[in-house]
């Protein structure tokens, strides 16, 4: 045990991670920044970043933010009550339930999204079942609604887990003390449970909002390639137009939004740490 | 929390390391061959048989559009040895030095490819130096007779509001613009900005009627009665008839695109002789026949055509008489032309 406590060994242990971080995070990031701020001849330019103001691109960015916010909100509304239910249960039961929520994640994300496409199609599984019981068909495939559904379905576990974690870490005694001092359930929730779970909520929001903002696979499959998100625009720059400079420039714009989100999280994390 | 994250990262990198070292050892005795082909564009058993016969270890990857293929190869042509792009893209690859001339002496079976297909290939590969044809066909409209009860003979039907939400368009820049340009009486190789503007506006006007922009999925969606009309390659159409007898394929009267997909060997290929063996194998009549029966794309292999049953051989869809149709092939339009089309396509895709 003593071995691992010494600084050098800890550094040694972390070295694969550091190498990983440099090769797969820092180097690509540096390349994105380089391409984003240069033109075809390698000279400095801001054009690639400014191109986000093109009406089509700007609309795609706005649409991405809009859909990501809605998806995050829906995820939160589903995840929070669920987190409360899970954390109030006995340990043996909730471990099983949590596994149930993680289980689908063992399957490839693209396959699961592709499955939704088949389920939602005009003559797909869901509509066939609805037809059998004489209910009207639902036609949300290739609409923003289907994209939101795909986002919520895919990213919900990322909201549930941190919220569940922070809720289950709340000391039972604090809640009992509140009750003792005459607080009713609403007051206990508003003044004890909710504030103490804020760090979980914030990291849940980050973990849903960022992938939802940047996705291009979900919008391609469930949006019929008709509804372009900023992720699609960037993907097309790399695969169709073969303009790495513009693709990187637009990625930098997207990164700004991700950075804002992460700064918010960092601030709350600090406060959460101070509280805890 | 942080510690946990580090542990999982370490585990992940360890996993990646073992996965990478696993790739190091070659399975066959004949070396390796990296093949890059369209999705569902070969009878997969043919690959296995090729490996058995030659001892070559085939690494087979697939792409969905010429543009995706190009973006990958332009980075590193040695990533693949043998590739199957379309006409205009081969022209672009020749121009940009991504492919190498073939030594047809090492591909003796290439004589099985019909003279007329070599002649057509001259348009994008003068002298037939770089490519050997694999499949060819037209682009047309596939429609469901139970949902469309009028005569389909014009691209105009794809703009008919009656079929709103029932139309599948190709999610591929040249094919989408081909439809719109030809419908307006322009050449599918137009580089006139005004003509492209008209075509772009038409595609934007059409967008609300389009159910989805798809490529390979046109086939499955049409078979599953998901849409009434779809733009599709002739080879796919023949396959769909087997699965759904209500489907019919037409080449519109305004004309269409005729295309050839051919095998080329990349400039940076490290396994040139294996790549030659691959192309030679694909040109063998029995193999070409097996591929045709599986993927139903028209084969330019005349020796294989003779083995096909008479009904299919005389089919106007499988082997159309091009003198009766108004057809043209795509040409590579240069960087300026590419940019014109790509920008216009992005406008269409991001509009609504």
Residue A105 DSSP symbol:
G
The reply to whether A4 falls in a domain is yes
Helix (H) or strand (E) holding B32: strand B32-38
A89-98 mean pLDDT: 73
d(CA A98, CA A91): 10
Contacts of B8 in chain A (CB under 8 A): none
Q: Do A239 and B71 touch (CB under 8 A)?
A: yes
Residues A108, A32 share a domain: no
pLDDT digits (tens, 9 = 90+) for B294-308: 999 999 999 999 999
Inform me whether the pLDDT recorded for A209 exceeds 50. yes
pLDDT digits (tens, 9 = 90+) for B161-184: 999 999 999 999 999 999 999 999
In the prediction, which pLDDT does A241 show? 86
Contacts of A226 in chain B (CB under 8 A): 207, 210, 212-213, 349, 352
Residues A231, A131 share a domain: yes
Contacts of B224 in chain A (CB under 8 A): 121, 123
Give the CATH number of the domain where residue A152 resides. Answer: 1.10.3720.10
pLDDT digits (tens, 9 = 90+) for B103-159: 999 999 999 999 999 999 999 999 999 999 999 999 999 999 999 999 999 999 999
Q: Do B349 and A228 touch (CB under 8 A)?
A: yes
User: CA–CA distance from B234 to each of A275, B38, B258 (Å)?
Assistant: 67, 15, 10
Query: Domains, chain B, ranges and CATH?
Result: 28-136+259-313 (3.40.190.10), 137-258+326-350 (3.40.190.10)
Tokens of A203: 């990291």
B60 - beta bridge partners? Answer: B35
- Report the first-to-last Cα separation within chain A, whole angstroms: 28
What does pLDDT average to over chain A? 89
d(CA B344, CA B348): 6
Inform me whether the pLDDT recorded for B26 exceeds 60. no
Q: Is A226 exposed, middle or buried (0-12, 13-18, 19+ CB in 10 A)?
A: buried
Residues A104, A12 share a domain: no
What does pLDDT average to over chain B? 91
Name the closest residue on chain A to residue B224, using Cα atoms.
A123
Confidence band for A8, pLDDT divided at 50, 70 and 90: confident
Helix (H) or strand (E) holding B50: helix B44-54
In the prediction, which pLDDT does B341 show? 96
- Report the first-to-last Cα separation within chain B, whole angstroms: 44
Residues A78, A184 share a domain: yes
Q: Do A123 and B225 touch (CB under 8 A)?
A: yes
Find which of A77-91, B14-28, B223-237 is predicted with most confidence, using mean pLDDT: B223-237
The reply to whether A46 falls in a domain is no
Residues A8, A89 share a domain: no
Tokens of A198: 């804020």
pLDDT digits (tens, 9 = 90+) for B91-100: 999 999 999 9
Chain B, residues 154-173, CB within 8 A of chain A, namely: 171, 173
In the prediction, which pLDDT does B321 show? 87
Inform me whether the pLDDT recorded for B11 exceeds 60. no
Confidence band for B14, pLDDT divided at 50, 70 and 90: very low
Inform me whether the pLDDT recorded for B331 exceeds 90. yes
Share of chain A above pLDDT 70, in %: 94
Contacts of A239 in chain B (CB under 8 A): 65, 67-68, 71
Confidence band for B21, pLDDT divided at 50, 70 and 90: very low
Could you tell me which residue, A172 or B33, shows the higher pLDDT?
B33
Residues A70, A196 share a domain: yes
Name the closest residue on chain A to residue B68, using Cα atoms.
A239
The reply to whether A17 falls in a domain is yes
Contacts of B65 in chain A (CB under 8 A): 239-240
pLDDT digits (tens, 9 = 90+) for B75-84: 899 999 999 9
Residues A118, A12 share a domain: no
**How many structural domains does chain A have?**
2
Name the closest residue on chain A to residue B170, using Cα atoms.
A225
Domain encompassing residue A199: 51-275
Among candidates B10, B173, B212 on the partner chain, residue whose Cβ is nearest the Cβ of A142: B212
A39-50 mean pLDDT: 92
Residues A158, A27 share a domain: no
Could you tell me which residue, B315 or B281, shows the higher pLDDT?
B281
Q: Do B213 and A20 touch (CB under 8 A)?
A: no
Residue tagged 């990857």 (tokens): B61
The reply to whether A216 falls in a domain is yes
In the prediction, which pLDDT does A149 show? 96
Could you tell me which residue, A92 or A261, shows the higher pLDDT?
A261
Among candidates B68, B214, B226 on the partner chain, residue whose Cβ is nearest the Cβ of A225: B214
In the prediction, which pLDDT does A26 show? 93
Contacts of A142 in chain B (CB under 8 A): 211-212
Name the closest residue on chain A to residue B74, using Cα atoms.
A242
In the prediction, which pLDDT does A91 show? 66
d(CA B17, CA A122): 45
A86-92 mean pLDDT: 76
Name the closest residue on chain A to residue B206, using Cα atoms.
A226
Read out DSSP for B295-351? H-PBP-BHHHHTTS-HHHHT-TTTS--TTTS-EE-----HHHHHHHHHHHHHHHHH-
Among candidates B10, B339, B350 on the partner chain, residue whose Cβ is nearest the Cβ of A56: B350
Long-range contacts of A216-221 (CB under 8 A, 24+ apart): A217/A109, A217/A110, A217/A113, A218/A113, A218/A147, A218/A150, A218/A151, A218/A154, A219/A147, A221/A110, A221/A113, A221/A114, A221/A116, A221/A117, A221/A150
Output the CA torsion sign for A228, A233, A237, A239: negative
d(CA B327, CA A101): 55
Q: Do B71 and A123 touch (CB under 8 A)?
A: no
Question: C-alpha dihedral over B123, B126, B131, B135, to 10 degrees?
Answer: 20
In the prediction, which pLDDT does B4 show? 41
Q: Do B350 and A225 touch (CB under 8 A)?
A: no
Confidence band for A1, pLDDT divided at 50, 70 and 90: very low
Mutate to test the interface with A, among B166, B349, B351, B352 (most CBs of A within 10 A): B349
CA-closest candidate to residue B93, choices B244, B282, B268? B268
Count of pairs with CB atoms under 8 A, one residue in A, one in B = 74
Angstroms from B115 CA to nearest CA on chain A: 33
The reply to whether A45 falls in a domain is no
CA-closest candidate to residue A147, choices A42, A81, A74? A74
In the prediction, which pLDDT does A106 show? 86
Contacts of B171 in chain A (CB under 8 A): 225
Residues A180, A136 share a domain: yes
CA-closest candidate to residue A163, choices A124, A133, A205? A205
Confidence band for B17, pLDDT divided at 50, 70 and 90: very low
Residues A214, A101 share a domain: yes
Inform me whether the pLDDT recorded for B10 exceeds 80. no
Residues A122, A12 share a domain: no
Among candidates A16, A59, A122 on the partner chain, residue whose Cβ is nearest the Cβ of B350: A59
User: CA–CA distance from A235 to each of A67, A214, A222, A248, B346 (Å)?
Assistant: 18, 10, 16, 10, 12
Helix (H) or strand (E) holding B47: helix B44-54
Inform me whether the pLDDT recorded for A186 exceeds 60. yes
Angstroms from A221 CA to nearest CA on chain B: 9
Helix (H) or strand (E) holding B22: helix B2-23
Q: Which residues contact B75 (CB under 8 A, 6 or more apart)?
A: none
């Amino acid at each position: 045990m003593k071995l691992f406590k010494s600084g050098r060994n800890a550094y040694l242990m972390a070295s694969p991670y550091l190498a990983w971080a440099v090769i797969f995070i820092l180097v690509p990031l540096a390349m994105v920044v380089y391409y984003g701020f240069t033109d075809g001849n390698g000279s400095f330019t801001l054009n690639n970043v400014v191109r986000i103001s093109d009406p089509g691109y700007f609309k795609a960015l706005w649409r991405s933010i809009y859909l990501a916010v809605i998806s995050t909100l829906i995820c939160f509304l589903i995840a929070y009550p669920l987190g409360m239910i899970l954390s109030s249960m006995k340990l043996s039961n909730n471990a099983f339930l949590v596994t149930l929520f993680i289980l689908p994640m063992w399957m490839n994300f693209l396959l699961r999204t592709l499955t939704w496409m088949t389920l939602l199609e005009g003559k797909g599984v869901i509509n066939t079942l609805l037809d059998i019981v004489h209910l009207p068909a639902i036609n949300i495939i290739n609409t923003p609604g289907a994209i939101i559904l795909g986002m919520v379905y895919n990213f919900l576990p990322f909201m549930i887990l941190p919220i569940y974690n922070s809720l289950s870490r709340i000391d039972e005694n604090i809640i009992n003390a509140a009750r003792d001092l005459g607080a009713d359930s609403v007051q206990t929730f508003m003044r004890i449970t909710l504030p103490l779970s804020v760090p979980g909520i914030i990291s849940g929001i980050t973990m849903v909002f960022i992938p939802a903002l940047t996705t291009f696979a979900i919008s391609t499959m469930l949006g019929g390639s008709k509804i372009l998100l900023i992720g699609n625009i960037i993907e097309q720059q790399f695969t169709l137009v073969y303009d790495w400079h513009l693709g990187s420039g637009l990625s930098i714009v997207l990164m700004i939004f991700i950075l804002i989100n992460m700064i918010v999280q960092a601030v709350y994390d600090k406060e959460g740490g101070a509280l805890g | 929390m942080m510690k946990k994250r580090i542990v999982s990262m370490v585990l992940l990198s360890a996993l990646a390391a073992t996965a990478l070292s696993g790739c190091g050892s070659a399975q066959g005795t004949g070396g390796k061959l990296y093949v890059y082909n369209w999705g569902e564009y070969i009878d997969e058993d043919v690959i296995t048989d090729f490996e058995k016969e030659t001892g070559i270890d085939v690494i087979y990857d697939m792409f969905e559009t010429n543009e995706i293929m190009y973006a990958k190869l332009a980075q590193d042509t040695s990533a693949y040895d043998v590739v199957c792009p379309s006409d205009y893209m081969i022209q672009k690859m020749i121009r940009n030095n991504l492919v190498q001339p073939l030594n047809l002496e090492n591909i003796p079976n290439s004589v099985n490819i019909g003279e007329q297909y070599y002649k057509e290939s001259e348009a994008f590969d003068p002298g037939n130096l770089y490519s050997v044809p694999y499949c060819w066909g037209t682009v047309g409209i596939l429609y469901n007779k139970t949902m469309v009860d009028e005569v389909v003979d014009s691209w105009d039907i794809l703009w008919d509001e009656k079929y709103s939400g029932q139309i599948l368009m190709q999610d591929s820049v040249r094919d989408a613009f081909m439809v719109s340009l030809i419908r307006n009486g322009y050449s599918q190789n137009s580089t006139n900005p005004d003509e492209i503007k008209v075509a772009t506006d038409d595609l934007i006007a059409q967008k609300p009627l389009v159910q989805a922009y798809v490529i390979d999925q046109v086939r499955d969606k049409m078979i599953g009665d998901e849409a009434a009309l779809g733009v599709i390659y002739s080879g796919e159409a023949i396959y769909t008839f087997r699965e759904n007898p209500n489907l019919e394929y037409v080449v519109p009267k305004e004309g269409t695109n005729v295309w050839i997909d051919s095998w080329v060997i990349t400039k940076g290929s490290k396994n040139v002789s294996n790549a030659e063996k691959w192309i030679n194998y694909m040109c063998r009549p029995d193999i070409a026949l097996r591929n045709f029966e599986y993927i139903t794309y028209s084969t330019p292999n005349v020796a294989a055509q003779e083995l096909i049953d008479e009904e299919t051989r005389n089919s106007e869809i499988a082997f159309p008489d091009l003198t009766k149709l108004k057809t043209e092939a795509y040409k590579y339009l240069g960087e300026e032309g590419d940019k014109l089309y790509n920008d216009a396509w992005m406008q269409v895709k991001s509009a609504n």
